[in-house]
Amino acid sequence: MKKTVSVALVMLFAVAFVAASWLESNAQTGKGKAAGKPAAKASGDIAALYKQHCQKCHAADGKGIESLEPPDFTNAEWQAKHTDKQFADAIRDGKEVMPGYKDKLTAAQITAMVKYVRAFAAKK
């Protein structure tokens, strides 16, 4: 009887360990989130999301890849002409050749991305 209980406890802990590892792995890769949206834990994650989704066209410094003709985020005059809502709409729904990210970013991440992009003008 003691041996059966011991084996059952070992099996229970093994299953719990595997389940915890699987959940942690999915949390890190973004699997299991609503609509496949990645999780953002802190503002540092917004920088990582910018690098993942935006940097290839808008460049690390926000000036943009010239041949693609995206807006220069470091230009305070250009930024002053655009509202946060316009930024958020462009990120969510896309604009011209830029794809939308509504299926990849949460509303909170889009709001944080607007703030992140706004900061490029302050760095100039």
pLDDT computed for residue 5 by the predictor: 46
What's the CATH code, domain 40-123?
1.10.760.10
pLDDT of 6 above 80: no
DSSP state of 35: G
* Percent of the chain topping pLDDT 70: 63
**What's the average model confidence in pLDDT over 46-59?**
93
Which tokens hold the place of 76? 């305070």
**Separation of alpha carbons 100 and 41, rounded Å:** 22
Q: In 13-51, which positions are buried (b, 16+ CB within 10 angstroms) versus exposed (e)?
A: eeeeeeeeeeeeeeeeeeeeeeeebbebeeeeebeebbe
Give the per-residue pLDDT at 34.
39
